[in-house]
Amino acid sequence: MEEKFQNGKEKVLNKLDFPRDISLDLPKIIVVGNREITIENHKGIIFFETNVVKINSRIGAIIIEGKGFEILFIAETSITISGIFNGISYER
């Protein structure tokens, strides 16, 4: 039932030309080279170490791998992390 509602909501928002990330509460990931990443619409930090970070989102965990991670900025729905990134993946 939830999936049907979500699909209907997406169709309406597409016709209205609303930003999907905001209206559907999807994560928006902004990567600057391999040194900085900002995730908007996150749901909190699941796990944080200097070589791996797991961030919760509505569509599942976002896993960031690399080394030397530091949190530059964190707010209720936005987080910016610096370091050297090797990969970003999703976990369901």
pLDDT the model gives residue 92:
76
- Does an H or E element contain 8, and which? helix 2-16
pLDDT the model gives residue 26:
86
User: What CATH number does domain 26-91 carry, 3.30.70.20, 2.60.40.2000, 3.40.605.10, 3.50.50.60?
Assistant: 2.60.40.2000
pLDDT the model gives residue 13:
57
Return the domain boundaries, the chain: 26-91
Token match 């559907």: residue? 24
Q: Distance between CA atoms of 49 and 28, rounded to whole angstroms?
A: 22
Kindly give the confidence (pLDDT) of every residue in the chain, 92 residues in length, as a single tens digit, with 9 standing for 90 and above: 666 666 666 666 566 665 555 556 789 999 999 999 999 999 999 999 999 999 999 899 999 999 999 999 999 999 999 999 999 999 97
C-alpha distances out from residue 48 to 6, 18, 21, 35, Å: 31, 33, 24, 17
pTM exceeding the 0.85 threshold for the entire prediction = no
